[in-house]
Amino acid sequence: MHSIAVYPPLTALEVYENLPESTLAEVIDNKIYMSPSPVDRHQSISAQLTAQLFFYAQKHDAGRVFAAPFDVYLDEKKNLVQPDLLFILKENAHIVRGHVHGSPDLIIEILSPSNRRRDLITKKRLYEKFAVKEYWIIDPDTNAAFGFQLQKGVYVKLPTEKNMLTSRLLKDVFVF
């Protein structure tokens, strides 16, 4: 998203980096996935959780929160995502260098019709592979929050909640 191509791009990541800034696109396993802009309910949930996570981070001097679109380079070759929300603990602040280069500690995805399968299956596997400590999926249609916590390299499902998520990583409850 920062350079002008002077040669044919060789990878999906190179194509992505030549898209206009703020393009809603991700690269997973060297394939580009584009998404339409989120609907109002999605944006409302995102805004509520962003505010709560921001105030949590400030109050506890715990880290930083970012909302989409914000690039997360899980590796520098073929996996770049734009999670709806992400949290980086203070001790991992070094992975934020303009964008995130590494695995966030917490990722929250809010389901949309265009990304449902990708968030529930593809990204869950990807985040597990790249050792994201906690992954939450919010379904705006049912107000359910499905959480996963990384334990010994494998995601363990957390109890499903309605209108809130309880982060074991942050040891707090966030309402949406």
CA distance 48 to 7: 43
Q: What is the per-residue pLDDT for 11?
A: 87
Strand partners, 96: 100
Strand partners, 31: 28
Residues contacting 111, CB < 8 A, separation 6+? 119, 120, 137, 138, 139, 140, 141
Low-confidence ranges of the chain (pLDDT < 50): none
CA distance 138 to 2: 31
Helix (H, G, I), strand (E, B) or coil at 55: helix
pTM score, whole prediction = 0.91
CATH numbers and ranges of domains, the chain? 38-175 (3.90.1570.10)
